[in-house]
A and B are shown apart, each in its own frame.
Chain A
Amino acid sequence: MNPPSTTMSEAPTTITTPAARTPGPLLPRLLAGIHAHGPMSLPEHLELHGALPAGARGRRRHAREHGAMLLDEIERSGLLGRGGAAFPTATKMRAVAASRGRAIVVANGAEGEPASLKDRTLMEMLPHMIIDGGLMAAEAVGADELIVCVCESAGAGVESMESAVAERTHGGGPAVKLHLATVPGHYVAGQESALVNYLGGGPSKPTFTPPLPFEQGLRRRPTLIDNVETLAHLALIARHGAPWFRELGTPAQPGSALVTLSGPVAHPGVYEIEHGASLSSLIDAGGGTTARVRAALVGGYAGSWIGAEHLKGVALSKEHLAPHGASLGAGVVLLLSEHACPVAETARVARWMSDQSAGQCGPCVHGLDALATTVAEVAGGAPGARASERIERLASLTSRRGACGHPDGAVNLILSSLETFAGEFADHARHGPCDACSRAPELPLPDRLLDDDARGGAR
């Protein structure tokens, strides 16, 4: 078997390790009953979880009452969005419900983060959980349409969602109009306004806000955009209630979460953990490490590094990660081995993040390019005068000046690298490339080009 990290960097979308779970009596929740031979069918899904609460099938007046009750229950559950921002789901839903016009629900499975596989795993294995959650969200906000967005490069995920939608719509189906859309796979494709833009026939690029999608989104209607994992949790909250959901997790971040674990571990893949579980329990669930670990990247390529010396005792939740300046983001934990050169890896990811700019906002285009160039100069041992000051200045000129959060995320990662790997950066600036610089890179980067992906219109 190849070292897992190599598998990851060569073909990040082809991890075939079955999703597993961390041990514990209350887990798995989302991943219960999954099997290796394809997606869970509708009969299997209903046998395992039971039917959805009846509200959706009742008369319209009842549906509205049921929707309001459901929204209260979601609020009590404390569910936070799983697309990366960890925003309270009920707050977003209330904003949509309060906006004028019939709402639309969009299930976001774009998953442009190269180190994340949890959304496509969910779409591949448990498509009916996503649809259930989407239908419940539609009921909570009074929507009459549900669009499930799948990344076009998620082959098995697209197939599985297609047949699940067909199963649901066969013979009449739900009152909510249900359909599927494939979306491009570049980094910012899943950003909310980019998704609305693309679904409306425009390019897959962010737009200037306001209006935010919740007030005026697709076809100028209030649009609720929720990550597919968020919706899957919703499918279970609607069945079992908020107190059940809160049996796992921490007060600030209740429930379980899907995490993509990769790097030098025996079994990289998607795991369901309890929020607040220790990082070491996740690594144990992944079969333990296969090399000495230099640092862990938490939250993906807009996330933060935690150096090996601080990893002991790290727990995976908002409140535990905050002191490390990190957050779980879309559930990414990527270990970097001591064989890798963190400076070369940072230079490579910085350039990739620069290339993933939608190219619309000057500070993002010029700032990320200049940052990637400067980091590469340091990595190559030929830094310009006062390179570290220049990086700091470029970072402040780039962050928070785009229409979306892409430049902020990229800057965050670069600054976190400089801090965590300060010694290595200083060595490279002084002595040039190290032995590890020429090794095969560990961090996965797809070679998707934004220009190919961002076209609008036809799909």
Chain B
Amino acid sequence: MSHRVRVNPITCEAHGMCAELLPERITLDEWGYPLLDDTPLHGSEVEHAMRAARACPTFALLVERERAPRGAGRTKRPVRSA
């Protein structure tokens, strides 16, 4: 089981809070939208990532937990949205 960060590009409004709070994983492009390193988070990063997700004004940053394959495909579930 591993955690990854993901962004909902529809709700993201380029506030940039995530890059402030999780600079080890997130930088901003020239328009202010996040560029993510979405390789599995290290244990200590998970809490930082969740803090960044909670701070996003549009809740566009997600921390997803990947579970073992089930049924048709890989299922991803957000750990916490707010």
Residues of A with Cβ closer than 8 Å to B?
Answer: 91, 94-95, 98-99, 206-208, 210, 214-215, 360-364, 366-367, 397, 401-403
Contacts and interface: CB of A to CB of B under 8 A. Distances in A.
B10 A360 contact: yes
A98 B72 contact: yes
B13 to A, nearest CB: 8
Nearest to A100: B71
Contacts of A91: 72
B31 A214 contact: no
A208 B10 CA distance: 7
A98 B30 CA distance: 43
Interface in B1-29: 8-14, 29
B67 interface: no
A401 B9 contact: yes
B71 to A, nearest CB: 5
Interface of B: 8-14, 29-33, 35, 71-73, 75-76
A208 B8 contact: yes
B76 A360 contact: no
Contacts of A364: 9
A363 B29 contact: yes
B33 A210 contact: no
A403 B7 CA distance: 10
A98 B73 CA distance: 11
A17 B9 CA distance: 42
Nearest to A397: B29
Contact of A361 (B9, B32, B75): B9
Contacts of B76: 210
B63 to A, nearest CB: 15
A363 B10 contact: no
| 6 interchain residue pairs of minimum CB distance | A95-B72, A361-B9, A362-B33, A366-B31, A360-B10, A208-B8
A362 B31 contact: yes
Contact of B73 (A95, A206, A363, A402): A95
A401 B34 CA distance: 10
A354 to B, nearest CB: 14
B12 to A, nearest CB: 6
Contacts of B13: 362
Contacts of A215: 72
Nearest to A95: B72
Contacts of A397: 29-30, 35
Contacts of A402: 9
A361 B29 CA distance: 13
A401 B36 CA distance: 10
Nearest to B73: A95
Contacts of B71: 95, 98-99
Contacts of A363: 9, 29, 31, 33
B9 A362 contact: yes
A361 B31 contact: no
A363 B30 CA distance: 10
Contacts of B33: 362-363, 366, 401
Nearest to B13: A362
A208 B30 contact: no
Contacts of A214: 72
A64 to B, nearest CB: 19
B20 to A, nearest CB: 17
Contacts of A208: 8-11
Contacts of B75: 210
Contacts of A360: 9-10
Contacts of B9: 208, 360-364, 401-403
Contact of A403 (B10, B31, B32, B73): B10
Contact of B10 (A94, A98, A99, A207): A207
30 contacts: A91-B72, A95-B71, A95-B72, A95-B73, A98-B71, A98-B72, A99-B72, A208-B11, A210-B75, A210-B76, A215-B72, A361-B9, A361-B10, A362-B9, A362-B12, A363-B9, A363-B29, A364-B9, A366-B30, A366-B31, A366-B33, A397-B29, A397-B30, A397-B35, A401-B9, A401-B33, A402-B9, A403-B8, A403-B9, A403-B10
Nearest to A369: B31
Contacts of A361: 9-10, 12
